[in-house]
Amino acid sequence: MWLLAIQFFSFYERIAKTDLLILKSEDHQLFGRFSGTIEIDTGKTIQFKDIVG
């Protein structure tokens, strides 16, 4: 089993709205940076910082 400890820091929110009389939706998409650690089965720890996604 892998152990994840990840933080997300958003810096932008994209909002898309659709209103076509019978079809209405509002979508929110966040962009930001991920930082944290991943510990894999072998006990090795992988650290990462400020990965944009």
Find the domain containing 48 and state its range: 3-52
34 in Cβ contact with 6 (< 8 Å) = yes
Give 1-40 pLDDT, tens digit per residue.
899 999 999 999 999 999 998 999 999 999 999 999 999 9
Number of compact structural domains in the chain: 1
Supply the pLDDT for residue 39.
Answer: 97
Supply the pLDDT for residue 31.
Answer: 98
Please tell me the pTM assigned to this model. 0.74
**In the numeric block, which tokens belong to residue 17?**
């709205």
Q: How far is CA 22 from the centre of its chain?
A: 31
Report d(CA 35, CA 17) in Å as an integer.
Answer: 30
DSSP string, 1-53: --EEEEEEEEEEEEEEEEE-SS-EEEEEEEEEEEEEEEE-TTS-EEEEEEEE-
